[in-house]
Chains A and B, each alone.
Chain A
Amino acid sequence: MKKKPNHKFIIGGVVIAAALMYLLISSTISGSQYFMTVEELQTQKAEYVGKNVRMSGSVLGDTIQYEPKTLSLTFEVAQIPGDHKLIQQMGGMAKVLEDAAADPNAPRMTIHYTGAKPDLLQPAAQAIVSGSLDANGVFQATELLLKCPSKYESALPKQAE
């Protein structure tokens, strides 16, 4: 291998790597979201008002209020742990969601969202919301995702490992 082209190659590589690093770092900073549980956000309200937060909780079925004419959707979610392992230990996501919805003492938070009522918004579904907390302590969601563990599966414990 000749030396000169090799130099070019290395310089080119460094430039590309630097550009990519810049792209990654700047986008990471602007695109980061704090992933929090209902409880964490409730206890540190003041600190996180206005910040980009993603939160997940169990939907409380009887709190769902939807006004189709204004597309204003309000509901409450109950605390579920953010730790995957802990959820496994507690009997899996479906059970955790059911228990959280049934527990009157679980920390709760009101979510407000403007838009279509999602097909999967139903009692004890897992709601994943992105948005920020407003000054009144209501979570203003700009994005609402729902996951629904099958009810049937929750009645059937998975086979022992």
Chain B
Amino acid sequence: MVYVGLISFALTFLALIVGTVFAVIGLSRKETSLSPLTFNAAVAAFALHTVAILAMVLLQITEDYSVAYVADVINPAMPMILKITALWGAMAGSLFFWSWILHLVMLTALVNKKKLLDNWSFLVIGVTNLFFAAITLFIENPFAQIWELVDGNIVAYLLSPEAGAVITKVSGVGLNPLLRHPGMIIHPPLLYVGFALFLVPFAVAVSQLIRKTADDALLDQTRSWIIGAWVFLTAGLALGSWWSYGVLGWGGYWAWDPVETASLLPWLTGTALLHSLLLERHRGIFRHFNLALVLSTWFLVVFSIFVTRSGLISSVHAFGESGISRMLLVFTVALFVVCLGLLIWRWKSLTTPWEFKSAFDREALFLYTNVILIAIVVACLWGLLFPLLNGAITGTQMALDLSFFQNTTAPLFILLVLLLAVCPLVGWSIASLKRIGKLAWIPLGVAVLLTAGTALLGLTKLWTFVGIFIVALGLSVLIMLTIRDAVATKSGFGKMVWKQRARYGAYLVHTGVLLIALGITGVHTLSNEVEAHFAVGDRMPFGQYEVVFDKVTEAFENPEYLTAKAQLTIYRNGAEVVKLYPAQHIYSERNQTISIPAMQSTARGDLYTNLIAYTADADGDFAVVTVIDNPLVNWMWVGALLMVLGGLLALSLTPKASKRLEAAPELLNGQETVQEK
């Protein structure tokens, strides 16, 4: 099975080379459309890659411990689902999986009815896929086996070294327990698919820049790719954050770790791209801006992979230093040069007439939105690269801590959400402050009332009020506009939403963002944390609650680890609210202990408990527990879900349907609600 996988992976590589060579031959004959030979070679490459992936999965589920990767991430006690998903549990496997996802995306683009790919764009995809397949095949190959040399040394090699024999371990190490969480099982594939989907718009854009086709085809062809990529990326980031919150036991959701930060960057430029694409549709402006965003989004995807896998930027998430660092560095830098070169070369031909008509029409607000999104990208890039640059220039090594990211991005994010809150009030036509004022008094009133209401609840912090005011303003604007349209429409509400699903999809996404802002406001301004040291029977007052420690129990619920469970009873006003069981799983063989937080989640927020240390002996049980009150935190997950659903709603609008709407733009109320074409 090892050789089935290895050979089909090698053949994948060959097939892809053949396809790419045919594309180059085609180009040398000045043919732009894809030849059937290239098409067939690429399809074959995907099929072979799939065989190789299946072989790897088979090796994992049959626990073939002669394979180094299997011995590293699998052990017999793991359930079947984890044995399969361990494919992306460590470096070699996840790189292999990423390469397959890229091939899958290539296939999807190839079979696309609209003939999305020509020789140029295929060349871009082919070279990219060849690069990632090559570093997997030649450097981080998951099919490497474990060999014992005559001198007794044990090594991992792909093919037999001189005078060596394959040895098979009885059992493997098993997947890192921290990664055995549903969020971590689905998070990487979602992120990879989101990343990979941006390759297609990038390839199409590069082809257009080279061929100098100045039509708007880029938009129509790749709109759904960009929205799709954005949806996957949003879901992937949200799940990663949920995992961090639910598993790592620190009660936080985002730590500005370099790897997290880097994976946020393509999302930010992708979001900017979605907005400016809309502008190009409406006004035929911003073409150069759009192309720059398409190019930089893909570049940031590659940059993010570089940060994660090269180990050059120190991070707890990174895979650690590896043999592929230098290759990735070269690829990333080369990509940067190509992108920049293409843009400079074609900049003049892209410039579109544009006038800054008003500082307060929707074009202007979209522009501000994108400027802020890009400012956040700049701040994050600076934070990531400053330590490297500073080290190269001054020789002293420096790093930027968490406060850098918080101080720079917080004001920008607040401005962004504020813009998002008021933007729907502003129409596409020239608007003035006066008109905004006329529409704004209802939501403004609602927001002021709600904020005043929270003051009555006894909250005192300024930033709580700011957060709640902005969220209330944004939500009431969206609700007001939807009600107004629902009253004005002649068809039913459901039909109206469906007909204008790009617009209501955007509303839903924006509602999601506002709910996330609400959650962040709660966590950052209202959260309360104590570290409690308990002996049995100790009662600790905690805000409106009282926390009582009952006992600690130890049991082997699973052959792999010992479970230590603390029992806490939570009271409010003397009445029992809930019993919580924060636990530790102690993997003695791995010498690793992981905490399993326990929480009570409600719409109000989470009561989050984490067992930090304990003793269970004759003197009586003793436990150290972190208790965190995280108000409003769950609205973040609801918000993320709405963002994904809203994206899917907008995605369901096929290009054909959008064409039709373009022909008959619906003008409701004269000026405000030009249908999103």
Contacts and interface: CB of A to CB of B under 8 A. Distances in A.
Contact of A87 (B68, B146, B321, B624): B321
Given A1-B353, A87-B321, A33 B375 contact: no
A54 B399 contact: yes
B144 A34 contact: no
A135 interface: no
A93 interface: yes
Interface in A1-26: 1-2, 5-6, 8-9, 16, 20, 23-24, 26
A82 B407 contact: no
B347 interface: no
B485 to A, nearest CB: 32
A23 B312 contact: no
Given A93-B321, A122-B591, A69 B144 contact: no
B613 A116 contact: yes
B323 A159 contact: yes
A71 B612 contact: yes
Interface string B42-77: 000000000000000000000000001001100000
Contacts of A23: 379, 407-408, 411-412
A35 B356 contact: no
B591 A159 contact: no
Contact of B408 (A27, A35, A70, A116): A27
B407 A27 contact: yes
B371 interface: yes
A36 interface: yes
Contacts of B375: 16, 20
Contact of B356 (A9, A152, A159): A9
B590 to A, nearest CB: 9
Given A30-B404, A150-B72, 8 more contacts: A16-B375, A23-B379, A23-B411, A24-B408, A31-B405, A71-B531, A116-B612, A150-B173
A153 B323 CA distance: 13
A104 interface: no
23 contacts: A16-B375, A23-B379, A23-B412, A27-B407, A31-B401, A33-B398, A33-B400, A54-B401, A69-B622, A84-B321, A92-B321, A116-B249, A116-B595, A116-B624, A117-B613, A119-B594, A122-B592, A153-B72, A156-B156, A158-B322, A158-B323, A159-B144, A159-B156
A157 to B, nearest CB: 6
Nearest to A27: B407
A58 B664 CA distance: 68
Interface string B360-387: 0000000000010001001100100011
Interface string B334-358: 0000000000000000000111110
Nearest to B356: A5
A117 B591 CA distance: 13
Interface in A23-77: 23-24, 26-28, 30-36, 52, 54, 56, 66, 68-71
A161 B178 CA distance: 31
A84 B397 CA distance: 12
A33 B371 CA distance: 29
B219 to A, nearest CB: 23
Contacts of B322: 158
Point out which of A2, A66, A68 has the most chain B C-beta atoms below 10 A from its C-beta. A68
A102 interface: no
A149 B139 contact: no
Contacts of A147: 316, 320
A34 B615 CA distance: 38
Point out which of B154, B320, B412, B612 has the most chain A C-beta atoms below 10 A from its C-beta. B320
Contact of B314 (A122, A128, A150): A128
A28 B400 contact: yes
A54 B595 CA distance: 26
A147 B312 CA distance: 14
Contact of A68 (B321, B407, B615): B615
Nearest to B172: A152
Contacts of B404: 27-28, 30-32
A130 interface: yes
Contacts of A26: 407
Interface string A118-161: 01101000001010000000000000011111101101111101
Contacts of B397: 34-36, 82
A54 B399 CA distance: 8
A149 B320 contact: yes
A152 to B, nearest CB: 5
Given A20-B375, A130-B401, A145-B316, A5 B157 contact: no
A35 B399 contact: yes
A145 B71 CA distance: 27
A110 B252 CA distance: 28
Nearest to B255: A145
Contacts of B173: 150, 152
A128 B483 CA distance: 54
Interface in B525-556: 531, 533
Interface in B562-621: 591-595, 612-615
Contacts of A28: 382, 386, 400, 404
Contact of A33 (B157, B382, B399, B405): B399
Contacts of B371: 16
Nearest to A56: B314
Contacts of B355: 1-2, 5
Contacts of B401: 31-33, 52, 54, 130
A27 B622 CA distance: 42
A150 B591 CA distance: 11
Contacts of A157: 155-156
Nearest to B357: A5
B311 interface: yes
6 nearest CB pairs, A to B: A31-B404, A68-B613, A35-B397, A116-B612, A5-B356, A27-B407
Contacts of B379: 20, 23-24
Interface in B289-333: 311-312, 314, 316, 320-323
